[in-house]
Amino acid sequence: MAKILIPTPLRQFTGKQDSVSVPGTTVGEVLTALTAQFPDLRKQIFTDEGKVRSFVNVYLNDEDIRYLSKDATETKEGDTLSLVPSIAGGSIVAAPPEQAALSKEEILRYSRHLIIPEVGIEGQQKLKAAKVLLVGTGGLGAPLGLYLAAVGVGKIGLVDFDIVDYTNLQRQVIHFTSDVGRRKIESASEKMKAINPYVEIVQHEVALSSENALDILKDYDIIVDGTDNFPTRYLVNDACVLLGKPNVYGSIFRFEGQATVFAYEGGPCYRCLYPEPPPPGLVPSCAEGGVLGILPGTIGLIQATETVKLILGIGEPLVGRLLLYDALAMKFRELKLRKNPECPVCGEHPTVTQLIDYHQFCGVPQASAAPPVQETKVNEGEIDVVELKQKIDRGDNFVLIDVREPHEYKICSIPGAKLIPLGEFPQHVGEFDKDADIVIHCRSGMRSAKACAVLRQNGFQHVRNVVGGILAWSDKVDPSVPKY
């Protein structure tokens, strides 16, 4: 026998009694007996499948039976059972439809959405009322911008301060050949407006930083991360967690990509997955490692799909799941992601409660506008490409080493250079004479600087790094050498 306290609204089903005593030795038996005695109560407490409804918690005296033995929890004479609903909510990502009425033209434009029951007029109005920020208008930002504009996301913010370059065109399909040299943000806005004049595009032509991130992000419902560097990724993540906004994440490398939704409704964040950034230089960017031109299309559109699902509130969001895509095997895999209770930003006792210096955190220097190769100064231990050319022409006795990868060497090379990729370089140190005149180059001068340092540590005296690498060679010595 146990006493069950009946919540006010349910008393209409129990003949107005505020408590009912029914027989039973376990909680399960008591609830069954209760609903047998008052059949109308059954629908309120159990689903059609006979499970206790998700919003009902059962308390035995002061304890939740989930932490006791659930249905099998024993009940004694004098015990009191309470039915307590679990209640939560929030204003997150939903549209006040009256502000987003659709015009006749818009109804025609979006008609293929309007006839899907899961979208309909209401869903289209949610899209129109939604505010989405795209961080980056590059590989991932290109398909995101084009499709989010096409589907009618009402307000789309763009963050980028870069200029369209020839090397972008192989994948950043929002920028055309005629856009090379233009501001990316302007080129992207123009295409999006051309696709859909009903969307509002907001241009934030800045480098996202700890100083401006919260101020920019706060006006948007959903943030989509299309960046390719760790400082910005951590910055976007932390800002999203602090502001309580979902972070739709994607990343790409050569033939593989990843996507997930971070910081959504108590789900894990980027730091739960990667508490610390990798050592600088370990994970190559697209510029360093290359990327299949189509890959950002695939990953960017997964991000776009998740964004639209969040806005519409339909389907299963990609939360707590990291989607891995392998283009060569043409396979998708999924890893479970858990929220880390110790996470420094979204855990139970956060230590990061405001934005920090992310360049310092990631151990990389502040990104500055790329220094033009021509103006680079030649310091001690360095050699200019023009001087290198003269050296070759004079027939000087010296060793020229190229520390790039074999597939880069196939694109272009400097005559007479010996190829030893940086990764294998330390094993070859013993092959050189310590007094020899050694000159080392790579693509831009970064990797060759590391190789020079290795030799100097090993007691080599006459080692010089080619400033600006083969890119400078193409600019100043031999324009027929292609740049990549």
x/- mask, other proteins, residues 10-29, rule CB under 8 A, reads x-------x-----------
- Report the residue from 25, 37, 40, 43 that binds other proteins according to the rule CB under 8 A: 43
For the chain, how far is it from start to end, CA to CA, in angstroms?
A: 81
Q: How many residues does the chain have?
A: 484
Query: Which of 188, 183, 207, 185 has its CA nearest to residue 142?
Result: 188
- Report the residue from 197, 244, 280, 363 that binds other proteins according to the rule CB under 8 A: 244
- Report the residue from 1, 14, 59, 389 that binds other proteins according to the rule CB under 8 A: 59
- Report the residue from 15, 50, 88, 459 that binds other proteins according to the rule CB under 8 A: 88
x/- mask, other proteins, residues 376-405, rule CB under 8 A, reads ------------------------------
Q: Three-state SS for 270? A: helix
Q: Which helix (H) or strand (E) holds 258?
A: strand 256-262
Of residues 243 and 324, the one with the C-beta less far from other proteins:
243
Q: Three-state SS for 259? A: strand
Shortest Å distance, C-beta 460 to other proteins: 55
Shortest Å distance, C-beta 96 to other proteins: 4
Shortest Å distance, C-beta 270 to other proteins: 15
Shortest Å distance, C-beta 123 to other proteins: 11
Q: Three-state SS for 45? A: helix
Of residues 254 and 309, the one with the C-beta less far from other proteins:
309
x/- mask, other proteins, residues 332-371, rule CB under 8 A, reads --------------x-x-----------------------
Of residues 66 and 333, the one with the C-beta less far from other proteins:
66
> Which residue is catalytic, options 269, 343, 412, 442?
442
Shortest Å distance, C-beta 265 to other proteins: 7
The answer to whether residue 117 forms part of the interface with other proteins (CB under 8 A) is no
b/e per residue 447-468 (b: at least 16 CB within 10 A): bbbebbebbeeeebeebbbbbb
Stretch that binds other proteins, among 241-249, 363-371, 386-394, 431-439 (CB under 8 A): 241-249
Token pair listed for 287: 């510029």
Site for other proteins in 94-113 (CB under 8 A): 94, 96-99
The answer to whether residue 64 forms part of the interface with other proteins (CB under 8 A) is yes
Of residues 57 and 298, the one with the C-beta less far from other proteins:
57
Shortest Å distance, C-beta 353 to other proteins: 11
Q: Which helix (H) or strand (E) holds 193?
A: helix 184-195
- Report the residue from 49, 67, 87, 374 that binds other proteins according to the rule CB under 8 A: 87
Query: Which of 237, 228, 229, 235 has its CA nearest to residue 262?
Result: 237
Q: How far apart are CA 31 and CA 37, in angstroms?
A: 10
Shortest Å distance, C-beta 388 to other proteins: 56
Shortest Å distance, C-beta 164 to other proteins: 36
Q: Is 286 a catalytic residue?
A: yes
CB neighbours of residue 100 within 10 Å: 19
Shortest Å distance, C-beta 472 to other proteins: 48
Q: Three-state SS for 65? A: helix
What is the secondary structure of 397-439 as a DSSP string?
Answer: --EEEE-S-HHHHHH---TTPEE--GGGHHHHGGGS-TTS-EE
Q: How far apart are CA 303 and CA 321, in angstroms?
A: 13
CB neighbours of residue 62 within 10 Å: 7
Of residues 81 and 185, the one with the C-beta less far from other proteins:
81
> Which residue is catalytic, options 286, 343, 346, 452?
286
Instruction: Supply the Cα-derived Rg of the chain in whole angstroms.
Output: 31
Q: How far apart are CA 176 and CA 195, in angstroms?
A: 15
The answer to whether residue 241 forms part of the interface with other proteins (CB under 8 A) is yes
Q: Is 240 a catalytic residue?
A: no
The answer to whether residue 282 forms part of the interface with other proteins (CB under 8 A) is no
- Angle at the Cα of 259 from the Cα atoms of 315 and 132, rounded to 5 degrees: 70
Q: What's the half-sphere exposure (Cβ side, CA atoms, 13 Å) at 433?
A: 6
Site for other proteins in 311-330 (CB under 8 A): 313
- Report the residue from 7, 181, 416, 479 that binds other proteins according to the rule CB under 8 A: 7
Q: Three-state SS for 368? A: coil
Q: Three-state SS for 126? A: helix
Q: How far apart are CA 81 and CA 7, in angstroms?
A: 11
CA 154 to chain centre: 22
Site for other proteins in 176-235 (CB under 8 A): none
- Residue corresponding to tokens 């964004």: 307
CA 129 to chain centre: 23
Of residues 86 and 366, the one with the C-beta less far from other proteins:
86
Of residues 71 and 165, the one with the C-beta less far from other proteins:
71
Shortest Å distance, C-beta 90 to other proteins: 4
Query: Which of 173, 182, 171, 188 has its CA nearest to residue 137?
Result: 188
x/- mask, other proteins, residues 66-85, rule CB under 8 A, reads ----------------x-xx
Binding residues (CB under 8 A) for other proteins: these are 5, 7-10, 18, 43-44, 53-57, 59, 62, 64, 82, 84-94, 96-99, 241-245, 263, 265-266, 313, 346, 348
Catalytic residues: 286, 442
